[in-house]
């Protein structure tokens, strides 16, 4: 069966190209994150130096870039923590519980399905989790194939049948095999950090009255310092927005590829199409999965309208392709397969 849909991808979508691209993007994401913190630190030091250099000799002169050194070290530490602990942080934020000893038939079937799909995909068995939420959804996280986690909601286990569950798990294992989980988990961890740090610094800035009189009692001052201050402050304003857009931009096309890989692993694209339709028709958004990890899920857990359409605007603001388009492509694959075998 030809498991790849007729999609005109703007980039190559074979497995090895996808893995190489995700490794490269993950590395650049960490480097960019550290450099961003370095700019905020050393940029702030330089601005403070320009604002204090005209003061009297006995007044404070900001000549030691302690803020830059401190923020660069903090950024490096956060990036290392996100690389090592991002998956556990994602699972903790969703309130997931690990299934080691299944307690009922539903959990046992889930464990069996994960092991079956791991064999079909040629991957080691991932760790298995359940999120106690009635809305059907699923996600994968981890740093690589050996450190992968599959999580589904309780609602999914009660909504889909066995073949549909296989298809959903196979979709998530497709993300693992592509190394999507590494890049998207890093994004989830770093997006949350940037938002928290930005909010915290803005509180400090407003309390300290940045932008008022400089030391020495003179208003105005060096125009270069003023421009740098504006750019520096804009960096803090725009940083959470930029990293959120980055998270959105990396997830949409990956869903199509993971759908195709699910069809390849299960040889049953119609099962995933049926599961996605059931997920789409669920009554409420997934409450346990937070905004910062929404791009990890098989379906938008927040139920946003932007993910229901296609086009330039939706491609830049939506975390997922339109469900109707995904289902249509899977059904087309299934019908072609039935026609070929019939």
Are both 123 and 172 inside the same structural domain?
yes
The answer to the question of residue 262 being in a domain is yes
| 13, 106, 123, 238 from 150: Cα distances, Å | 23, 16, 12, 33
d(CA 261, CA 255): 10
Are both 123 and 66 inside the same structural domain?
no
Are both 281 and 192 inside the same structural domain?
no
The answer to the question of residue 10 being in a domain is no
The answer to the question of residue 246 being in a domain is no
The answer to the question of residue 5 being in a domain is no
Counted domains in the chain = 2
Alpha helix (H) residue ranges in the chain: 15-52, 66-93, 105-121, 154-159, 162-178, 180-208, 223-249, 252-266, 269-280, 312-317, 323-341
Could you tell me the residue range of the domain that residue 29 belongs to?
15-92+183-241
The answer to the question of residue 163 being in a domain is yes
Q: Assign residue 335 the CATH number of its domain.
A: 3.30.2010.10
Are both 172 and 284 inside the same structural domain?
yes
The answer to the question of residue 280 being in a domain is yes
Are both 152 and 282 inside the same structural domain?
yes
Out of 220, 241, 262, a domain closes at 241
| 40, 50, 67, 92, 140 from 79: Cα distances, Å | 16, 30, 18, 18, 20
Out of 193, 222, 241, a domain closes at 241
Asked whether the predicted pLDDT for residue 12 surpasses 50, the reply is: no
d(CA 231, CA 27): 26
Are both 73 and 22 inside the same structural domain?
yes
Asked whether the predicted pLDDT for residue 152 surpasses 90, the reply is: yes
Out of 241, 259, 282, a domain closes at 241
Alpha-carbon Rg for the chain in angstroms:
24
Are both 29 and 118 inside the same structural domain?
no
The angle at the Cα of 46, spanning 44 to 58, to the nearest 5 degrees, equals 110
Are both 164 and 257 inside the same structural domain?
yes
Asked whether the predicted pLDDT for residue 318 surpasses 70, the reply is: no
Torsion, Cα 233 239 242 245, to 10 degrees, reads -140
pLDDT tens digits, one per residue of 98-144 = 999 999 999 999 999 999 999 999 999 999 999 999 999 999 999 88
Read off the pLDDT of each residue in 244-269 and give the average, rounded to a whole number: 80
d(CA 81, CA 99): 25
pLDDT tens digits, one per residue of 279-311 = 988 866 777 777 667 778 898 777 655 445 555
The answer to the question of residue 326 being in a domain is yes
Lowest mean pLDDT among 172-181, 240-249, 324-333: 240-249
Q: What is the maximum span of the chain, computed from C-alpha positions, in angstroms?
A: 90
Asked whether the predicted pLDDT for residue 214 surpasses 80, the reply is: no
Are both 59 and 187 inside the same structural domain?
yes
Check residues 118 and 22 and name the one with the higher pLDDT: 118
Asked whether the predicted pLDDT for residue 10 surpasses 60, the reply is: no
Are both 191 and 50 inside the same structural domain?
yes
Are both 129 and 237 inside the same structural domain?
no
Catalytically active residues are: 172
Average pLDDT in the chain: 79
Check residues 286 and 256 and name the one with the higher pLDDT: 256
Are both 204 and 153 inside the same structural domain?
no
Indicate the pTM of the whole model.
0.74
The answer to the question of residue 2 being in a domain is no
């Amino acid at each position: 069966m030809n498991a790849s849909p007729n999609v005109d991808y703007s980039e190559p979508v074979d497995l090895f190209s996808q893995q190489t691209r995700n490794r490269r993007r993950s590395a650049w994401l960490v480097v960019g994150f550290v450099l961003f913190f370095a700019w905020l630190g050393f940029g702030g030091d330089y601005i403070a130096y320009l604002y204090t250099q005209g003061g009297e000799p006995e007044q404070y002169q900001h000549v030691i870039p302690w803020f830059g050194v401190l923020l660069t070290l903090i950024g490096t530490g956060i990036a290392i923590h996100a690389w090592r602990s991002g998956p556990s942080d994602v699972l903790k934020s969703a309130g997931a519980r690990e299934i080691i000893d299944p307690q009922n038939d539903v959990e046992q079937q889930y464990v069996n399905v994960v092991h079956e799909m791991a064999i079909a995909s040629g991957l080691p068995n991932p760790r298995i989790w359940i999120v106690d939420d009635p809305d059907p959804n699923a996600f994968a996280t981890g740093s690589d194939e050996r450190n992968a986690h599959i999580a589904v909601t309780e609602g999914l286990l009660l909504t889909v049948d066995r073949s549909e569950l296989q298809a959903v798990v196979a979709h998530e294992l497709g993300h693992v095999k592509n190394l999507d989980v590494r890049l998207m988990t890093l994004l989830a961890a770093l997006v949350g950090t940037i938002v928290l740090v930005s909010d915290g610094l803005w509180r400090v800035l407003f309390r300290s009255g940045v932008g008022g009189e400089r030391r020495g009692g003179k208003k105005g001052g060096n125009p270069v310092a003023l421009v740098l201050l504006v750019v520096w402050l804009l960096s803090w304003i725009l940083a959470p927005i930029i990293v959120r857009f980055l998270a959105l931009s990396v997830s949409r096309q990956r869903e199509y590829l993971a759908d195709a890989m699910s069809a390849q692993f299960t040889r049953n694209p119609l099962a995933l199409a049926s599961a996605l339709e059931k997920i789409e028709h669920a009554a409420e958004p997934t409450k346990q999965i937070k905004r910062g990890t929404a791009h990890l899920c098989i379906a938008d857990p927040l139920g946003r309208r932007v993910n229901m359409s296609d086009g330039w605007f939706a491609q830049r603001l939506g975390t997922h392709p339109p469900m109707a388009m995904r289902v249509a492509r899977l059904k087309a694959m299934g019908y072609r397969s039935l026609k070929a075998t019939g």
